[in-house]
């Protein structure tokens, strides 16, 4: 098997030599040029696995070369070498299609990581290696609409890049799933995917949670602890609801992303971390930037490429497909025959606004599966609200789903206790079928088996 082949483009002989020696020690053959014209010629002669190009060249710039390679050699990952601290150029390169970037003076550890990641991507491309298997029944990005086809195409493209991705969209549209698919289809698939809800971490613990801490650095720090960045090393860190980060953490997050390193609380030096950043929120970050509630420089850094997930009401053609997928998964979980949806009920679903999007559809079908007494889901089983925009008061700190589960749990336990845990008698007492009770017992972890 031949060694991988890399093209190095830099007009400084010392830099070219450093890169050739470094890659040579990694078992990678190299070809080197010093300008755009010579690079375009050599690209036609060899089949390269990786390209490293300086940003400034005598007869052009790295951005032009990135765009040329994307147009003529779309499977070739190209990384740009930028001047130290010039994040504007790095972001511009990523937006133009660069796989990644490395800053001068070149940190060889960072360079080696970049090269290893790029070659994993290339091996998967050239050998026909399949992407990690996904549970299609839970893939809420299924469908035939033009909107969802575009999203799937974008995800496949983004998986080949290391650029930070910002996923926007309403609650319940599937932003975390999109992030997981980007990770699973890329060269980091075998490394961790670490999701974190930024709004769920207490402000006083954020720095420790994100960056880790050293033993004795504060009261309660009885051991060294790795942070979320270190946990995602080599993989992907998904920052969900990034808009909820307080301003002081936004500053620290920006530095961690730009420097590709973190300093644990109580540590004296930074630790190199190689993690791809994908962020998401249902909030309008642009508006928050205007209000001064979100740092513009951080927004610019995480929003290199934006992926907008459309609401379910804009992809109504996908509803029937999603229903079939969701019901298949739910039925398999409790080993029952998958029910059908009557035509009238399906029409109601197609006409519904779905303010909660696919998550609301899942909850609705889960409830219907419980309520239907036959193998047909009817309109009454769906319990579609007459006015989806109507405000409803919920108990403090409980979501609607959690509140419903608490009520169901209490009623079911009461019926079981009164019937000495005779499930047939309990189902009759509750006015539901034995099949429906069996499902709820499994869902609420009340089934003694």
Per-residue pLDDT tens for 224-274? 888 999 999 999 999 999 999 999 999 999 999 888 889 888 888 888 899
Query: Among the ranges 39-53, 336-350, 393-407, 415-429, which has the highest mean pLDDT value?
Result: 39-53
What pLDDT score does 122 carry? 53
Over residues 18-41, mean pLDDT: 95
Read off the CATH number of the domain in which 113 is found. 3.40.50.2300
Domain that holds residue 345: 312-377
Q: Is the pLDDT of residue 55 over 80?
A: yes
Is pLDDT above 90 for 439?
Answer: no
- Say if 394 falls within a structural domain: no
Task: For residues 279 and 211, state if they share a domain.
Answer: yes
Q: What is the pLDDT of residue 429?
A: 82
User: What local confidence, expressed as pLDDT, does residue 152 receive?
Assistant: 92
Residue 129 is assigned to a structural domain of this protein? no
Q: Nearest-CA neighbor of 73 among 65, 61, 85, 63?
A: 65
Q: Do 164 and 280 fall into the same domain?
A: yes
51 domain-assigned: yes
Average pLDDT, the chain: 86
Number of folded domains that form the chain: 4
- Pair (303, 316) in one structural domain: no
pLDDT band, residue 400 (cuts 50/70/90): low
Q: Comparing 23-27, 402-406, 431-435, which segment has the lowest mean pLDDT?
A: 402-406
Which pLDDT does position 374 carry in this prediction?
80
Gap between the Cα atoms of 186 and 100, Å rounded = 13
Query: Does one domain contain both 207 and 291?
Result: yes
Do 325 and 249 fall into the same domain?
no
Residue 80 and residue 91 in contact, taking contact as beta carbons nearer than 8 Å: no
Q: Indicate if 202 and 236 belong to the same structural domain.
A: yes
Q: What is the CATH number of the domain that holds 303?
A: 3.40.50.300
Count, residues in the chain = 449
My answer on whether 296 and 427 are in the same domain is no
Residue 425 included in any domain: yes
Q: What is the pLDDT of residue 246?
A: 93
Cβ burial, residue 426 (10 Å; 0-12/13-18/19+): buried
Identify the CATH number of the domain in which residue 353 sits. Answer: 1.10.8.60
CA separation for the pair 109, 345 (Å, rounded): 59
Q: How far apart are CA 361 and CA 219, in angstroms?
A: 45
319, part of any domain:
yes
pLDDT value at residue 84: 64
pLDDT score at 218: 78
Residues 178 and 251 in one domain: yes
Residue 69's pLDDT is 94
Please indicate, yes or no, whether the overall pTM of this predicted structure exceeds 0.75. yes
The mean pLDDT of 167-177, rounded to a whole number, is 93
* Same-domain pairing of 214 and 261: yes
**DSSP secondary structure string, 218-269?**
STT--S-B--HHHHTTTSEEEEETGGGS-HHHHHHHHHHHHHTEE--BT-SS
pLDDT of residue 389: 45
With respect to residue 372, please indicate whether it lies within any of the assigned structural domains. Answer: yes
Q: Predicted confidence band at 337 (pLDDT cuts at 50, 70, 90)?
A: confident
Q: Is the pLDDT of residue 221 over 80?
A: no
What was the pLDDT predicted at 430? Answer: 82
């Amino acid at each position: 098997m031949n060694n991988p082949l890399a093209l190095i483009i830099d007009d400084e002989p010392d830099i070219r030599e450093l890169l050739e020696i470094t890659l040579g020690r990694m078992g990678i053959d190299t070809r080197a040029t010093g300008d755009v014209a010579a690079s375009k010629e050599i690209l036609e002669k060899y089949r390269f696995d990786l390209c490293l190009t300086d940003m400034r060249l005598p007869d052009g710039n790295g951005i032009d070369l990135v765009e040329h390679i994307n147009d003529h050699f779309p499977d070739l990952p190209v990384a740009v070498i930028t001047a130290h601290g010039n994040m504007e150029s790095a972001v511009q390169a990523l937006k133009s299609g660069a796989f990644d970037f490395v800053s001068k003076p070149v940190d060889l550890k960072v360079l080696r990581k970049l090269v290893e990641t790029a070659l994993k991507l290339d091996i998967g491309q050239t050998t026909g290696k399949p992407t990690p298997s996904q549970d299609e029944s839970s893939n809420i990005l299924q469908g035939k609409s033009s909107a969802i086809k575009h999203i799937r195409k974008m995800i496949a493209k983004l998986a080949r890049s290391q650029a930070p991705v910002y996923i926007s969209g309403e609650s319940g549209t599937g932003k975390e799933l999109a992030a997981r698919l980007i990770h699973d289809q890329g060269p980091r698939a075998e490394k961790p995917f670490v999701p974190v809800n930024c709004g769920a971490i207490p402000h006083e613990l954020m720095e420790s949670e994100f960056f880790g801490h050293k033993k004795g650095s504060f009261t309660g720090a009885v051991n060294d602890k790795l942070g979320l960045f270190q946990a995602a090393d080599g993989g992907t860190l998904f920052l969900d609801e990034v808009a909820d980060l307080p301003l002081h953490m936004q500053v620290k997050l920006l530095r961690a992303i730009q420097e590709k390193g973190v300093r644990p609380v109580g540590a004296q030096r930074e630790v190199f971390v190689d993690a791809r950043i994908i962020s998401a929120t249902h909030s309008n970050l642009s508006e928050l930037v205007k209000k001064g509630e979100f740092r513009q420089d951080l927004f610019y850094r995480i929003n290199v490429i934006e992926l907008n997930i459309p609401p379910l009401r804009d992809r109504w053609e996908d509803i029937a497909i999603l229903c079939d997928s969701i019901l298949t998964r739910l039925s398999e979980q409790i080993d029952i025959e998958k029910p059908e949806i009557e035509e009238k009920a399906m029409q109601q679903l197609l006409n519904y606004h779905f303010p909660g999007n696919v998550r609301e559809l899942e909850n609705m079908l889960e409830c219907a599966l419980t309520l239907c007494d036959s193998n047909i889901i009817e309109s009454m089983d769906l319990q579609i609200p007459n006015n989806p925009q109507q405000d409803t008061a919920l108990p403090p700190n409980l979501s609607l789903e959690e509140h419903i589960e608490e009520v169901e749990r209490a009623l079911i336990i009461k019926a079981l206790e009164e019937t000495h845990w005779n499930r047939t008698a309990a189902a009759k007492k509750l006015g539901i079928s034995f099949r429906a009770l069996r499902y709820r017992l499994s869902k609420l972890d009340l089934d003694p088996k």
